[in-house]
Amino acid sequence: MKKWFLFLMLLVAFTLTKASLLQANSDYQAFEEVTLKDGKFLKDISSSDLNKYYKKVNKRKFYGWRSYDIHSDLKLSYKTETLFSYHNDGATPIKYSYSMKKKNVETRSLTSTGDIKVKISGKIQSFSNNLDSQLKLNSQSTEKKELEEEYKIQLDIDPGTRLNLYIYGEGKITNGVAINYIFWLKYKKGGYEIFTVTTQYYRLEKVRI
Amino acid sequence: MKKLFYPLIILFIIVLMVINYLSYQAPKTKKFITQNKVYTNLNGEPLFVDIYCNHKSAYHQKEAFDEIFLKDDKGDNKWLLNLDDIFKKESYSYLKESFNCYLYCFTLPKLTIDVEMEEAYLVLKLKNGEELKLLIGSFNYYYQDNNNLNLIECFATKKDNLLELETVNLKFSLEEEFTITKLKIGSRSFNYQKTVSAEEIVSLEIPPLLKIVDALSLKLTYQIGTREYHEVLPYFVFFENFENPLSFSILNNVYTVN
């Protein structure tokens, strides 16, 4: 009976500690250009380095997460998209009036590897199994609702030129590893990454076609 | 049973006292926060003002207002505004309190003169007689019917840990060189001697203003030969901040009301 019980416990422990390191699927990969001044993205950290960091959260606990920040608030810059591009192929200058509405921007983007999952409820992202509390992430919506603010930009576009308005910005990256324990057993383990937009810039330029 | 009666009564009273103590909450002081910002308005375009509050009151209902005006404390300017709408935006934490941001959208009358308020106060008068006077920064109204300079590139950099411009970078399409001698940001003017050539980006460094300077119309003074000209550039959003704006406490004007 004792052997059966021991075998069952081992089986449960093995099932709970299974670790699958998946490639991070980060939203900011969709940006045209991302430049990290220092450090590494979670997806660029090798498995051997990750295993080294897992040792920092290896101390078992009765219940809950242990986490370790590999990089904290790394500065990065990015270029996202061209808001508009307007051509004047004609022979005379044209007056162009553009209504610039401030966009809804999700200021925080989460990615994960391994057993940690990112939940999406509406437009709000959060980590599964309450990892947010361990990482002290604000649970409220991070979406900027600024569609009410509308500005008019009035410019002359000369013949044979194109008017572009594009966005670039700055943000911060924090990434690390975490293990979730239940009754001192490893239940889930994986990597997390939090990207936060801090500033977004607008650049206007007229170029010759 | 009789022996237990008095201890139980005492225990019951103690529990009631504890519940009463825990349920007591100190009365919350009602606060409004505005931030010093450089507001510029070109040809009567809408004006947007953010006001942060730790409570909900009649000041958040469009119908409750009797009149709203902009007033310059140093001058005689008083400008009646038309409130179009109020939108509730995000909430932010400031000194362990939560503040909701409300966006007030105003329509301005279209004038054919320039107006300047170095210290602009937004005066909110309710129909019940209550009144609030909030400092919002500086305000400039510019009237311009056409542009002489052909701006072809425009972007800025931001100062670290402040919500204001570090540099403004401009490029013009031009037939002859000119020299930028002055740049006006709100009520402050800065002197330069920057010669602008064709297809060249000119970078103007902006000294600290300790105000939000993120979206505005810049007023340039330039010289061609010995003649001096003025030009108001189109309104442009140079950058948007996505961090907690109230954490830049140097900008905050905190008002408490009864």
Q: pLDDT tens digits for B211-258?
A: 999 999 999 999 998 899 999 998 888 999 989 999 998 899 999 987
Altogether, the residues listed in chain A come to a count of: 209
User: Which of A170-179, B20-29, B82-91 has the least mean pLDDT?
Assistant: B20-29
Candidates A28, A37, A137, A206: best to mutate against B (most CBs of B within 10 A) is A206
Q: Which two tokens stand for residue A27?
A: 């939203």
DSSP B150: E
User: Judged by CB atoms within 8 Å, which residues 65-104 of B form the interface with A?
Assistant: 85, 87, 89-91, 103
Summary mean pLDDT of chain A: 76
A133-142 in b/e form (b: 16+ CB < 10 A) is: ebbebeeebb
Instruction: State residue A205's pLDDT score.
Output: 85
| pLDDT of A18 above 90 | no
- Spatial separation of the C-alpha atoms in residues A154 and B134, rounded to whole Å: 31
pLDDT 10s digits, A61-107: 899 999 999 999 999 988 876 767 777 777 777 777 666 666 556 77
Candidates B37, B91, B100, B154: best to mutate against A (most CBs of A within 10 A) is B154
Strand partners, B94: B97
pLDDT 10s digits, A134-192: 887 765 545 555 445 566 666 777 788 888 888 888 999 999 999 999 999 989 889 99
Q: Mind telling me how many Å the CA of B199 is from chain A's nearest CA?
A: 10
- Spatial separation of the C-alpha atoms in residues B170 and B203, rounded to whole Å: 7
DSSP A90: S
Q: What percent of chain B has pLDDT over 70?
A: 98
Q: Mind telling me how many Å the CA of A148 is from chain B's nearest CA?
A: 8
Helix (H, G, I), strand (E, B) or coil at B197: coil
Q: Chain A residue closest to B42 (CA)? A: A152
Angle ∠(B17,B21,B22) on CA atoms, nearest 5: 120
Q: Which two tokens stand for residue B71?
A: 């007033």
Helix (H, G, I), strand (E, B) or coil at A52: helix
| pLDDT of B175 above 60 | yes
- Spatial separation of the C-alpha atoms in residues A44 and A60, rounded to whole Å: 27
DSSP string for B103-141: EEEEE----SS-EEEEEEEEEEEETTS-EEEEEEEEEEE
Domain ranges of chain A: 2-208
Q: Which two tokens stand for residue B20?
A: 């009463």
- Confidence band of B86 (pLDDT split at 50, 70, 90): very high
